[in-house]
Chains A and B, each alone.
Chain A
């Protein structure tokens, strides 16, 4: 029994970290650009597929480094060509645009890489279990969690200590003032969108090693990421971090008791938060209204 619980706790941690990476990217874009990126799950899949294509050439480690950057570049192009045209318009247009984009990207992935699942090969050292007793915990799982911790710490340090990061945070609170102070808000938003896509690409590479690749692999992660943002509190990245971990853990622990309800418990948390603490666990008053 202890092993079953431990197994599900590590599962919850891993699922939670996927939610966190994905939701942090969504949250960055939402906070600065007021755009819900429906295609975020497709940027995740794109990152995974790029790693699949690159790893025979660059090896796993090379692909792990390069494919998130490529995903970010594609995100940058998408922002420049399409998304930036709808800033400041009725939110209905941003939703429709990214929704259409999600359809196109999913279909393109299916067209290029085929409809069937593909595996992403891992280096031998990562596929070993860490000990005999804990045979279900491979080094890969430890590695994934470590990478996520490093990138989350890196992101927060970037937002806190670099000039661009400070501008992004300032823009979240008052974009107009930031613009009046002579900062190029258009470029800031483009860069921010690319960073969000890079996080999605990174989680795509990591997810591909764990669950394999398929064209709609991002869809299952998209909805929990929305919920992580609402639960944590819109406008707060720390909130998104806790929200993601919380629902990942809750879903995994429910699996121990009653597997069929693991999805439902996420929605139960959502309803409870909307009912009891509408601004979210860490969110600021007024941010959501």
Chain B
């Protein structure tokens, strides 16, 4: 795989890696994913689920896919992405509560808030690698947790930020009542998700995305080819934070609530495990992983008070026996 960017034929393999699968399989997978997502409000209640659960899958899936741009496609480990997710959520919530009653502006504010925080912090740590990079991201992420936790009067402290709710979008006859109709809101989420994922796919297929793959496969070689490695890792970190922050704003809208746990490093761990369960080096893996994880968590925590043990055991089992993830094993098996 180290020759992926240089030689002609293996380069096609990388394009398959971006999509996860090759050729006809890929088209079938795409149709299946979008068909399943578009019809959720019709089939999920039949299985005993509820539409908000599907909303959560989309939100966490988008966050994990954003993280995966860095983790799977650049080969850089961030264990602090909950910070940008939570900043997005708080940014949107605070805007709705204190500034304007407008959903699009709140999303814009939250995304910029989380994304810019990540961009600035990225500058500080872009030279670190491996576990040290991860350790810096964890520590920095917790800063925001403590800030939201202690600044009671502004953020609502441990109880979280309440007293805001998503506003209907549009004017007159073209109004979408996302506030009161869960199904309408789900399709709104899906539309935002689709736009974000399309942009992400476009970025990863661009020369910029291929350069990230080159850095992942062999950083030293990429450097010798004249690629400014630090700048690319920084850009990848920054873009990934923007996507995760966007997911965070959707999380605030979904719950009409933002709490410090959305900033906590546990959630960063959840994002990473979702990505690994689905398949770290595949495009759609994190969404699948998010679906598996959200449903399992929902089920386990309704069954037992010892849900932490079960979640912990899932982490351990995934690492020891299932490190390539669902879509990952499929790809390796097909070879």
Contacts and interface: CB of A to CB of B under 8 A. Distances in A.
Interface of A: 30, 34-36, 82, 85-86, 89-97, 99-108, 110-111, 223, 226-227, 229-230, 234, 260, 263-264, 267, 270-271, 274-275, 278, 288-289
B313 to A, nearest CB: 6
A96 B280 CA distance: 13
Contact of A97 (B135, B142, B316): B316
Contacts of B311: 100, 103
Contact of B147 (A94, A227, A264): A264
A93 B313 contact: no
Given A85-B320, A86-B319, A95-B77, A103 B131 contact: no
B312 A107 contact: yes
A177 B320 CA distance: 28
Given A89-B323, A92-B280, A264-B147, A100 B314 contact: yes
Contacts of A93: 276, 319, 323
B146 A263 contact: yes
Contacts of A110: 308
A34 B140 contact: no
Nearest to B313: A104
B139 interface: yes
B276 A96 contact: yes
Among B71, B136, B319, residue most surrounded by chain A Cβ atoms (within 10 Å)? B319
Contact of A223 (B139, B273, B314): B139
B309 A96 contact: no
Contact of A270 (B139, B315, B318, B319): B139
A34 B131 CA distance: 7
Interface in B232-274: 265, 269, 272-273
Interface residues of B, number: 41
In terms of DSSP, what is the predominant structure of the interface of chain B?
Answer: helix
B318 A96 contact: yes
17 contacts: A36-B131, A90-B77, A91-B130, A94-B131, A96-B272, A96-B319, A99-B315, A100-B316, A100-B319, A104-B308, A104-B309, A234-B135, A264-B146, A264-B147, A267-B140, A278-B124, A289-B128
B138 interface: yes
Contact of B77 (A34, A92, A102): A92
A108 B142 contact: no
A223 B142 contact: yes
Contact of B306 (A90, A96, A100, A107): A107
A34 B309 CA distance: 25
A80 B319 CA distance: 15
Given A90-B77, A103-B315, 13 more contacts: A30-B131, A36-B135, A86-B319, A95-B269, A101-B316, A103-B309, A103-B311, A104-B309, A104-B316, A106-B308, A226-B139, A278-B124, A288-B132
B134 to A, nearest CB: 6
B220 interface: no
Interface string B60-78: 0000000000010000010
Contacts of B136: 230, 274
Nearest to A104: B312
Given A104-B313, A106-B308, A97 B320 contact: yes
A260 B276 CA distance: 38
Nearest to A100: B315
B71 to A, nearest CB: 7
A167 B1 CA distance: 36
A161 B323 CA distance: 41
A267 B143 contact: yes
B308 A103 contact: yes
Contacts of B37: none
B312 A34 contact: no
Contacts of B71: 92
A192 to B, nearest CB: 16
B79 interface: yes
Contact of B276 (A92, A102, A108, A234): A92
A210 to B, nearest CB: 22
Contacts of A106: 308
Given A226-B138, A275-B124, A289 B129 contact: yes
Nearest to B131: A91
Interface in B88-145: 124-125, 127-132, 134-136, 138-140, 142-143
A250 B314 CA distance: 39
Given A95-B272, A96-B276, A107 B308 contact: yes
A108 B309 contact: yes
Contacts of B124: 271, 274-275, 278
Contacts of B319: 86, 93, 96-97, 100
B150 interface: yes
Contact of B125 (A91, A107, A229, A274): A274
Given A96-B273, A107-B309, A234 B316 contact: no
A214 to B, nearest CB: 14
Max count, chain B CB within 10 A of own CB: residue among A93, A100, A234: A100
Contact of B269 (A91, A99, A270): A99
B316 A91 contact: no
A97 B322 CA distance: 12
A267 B146 contact: yes
A271 B125 CA distance: 10
Nearest to B269: A99
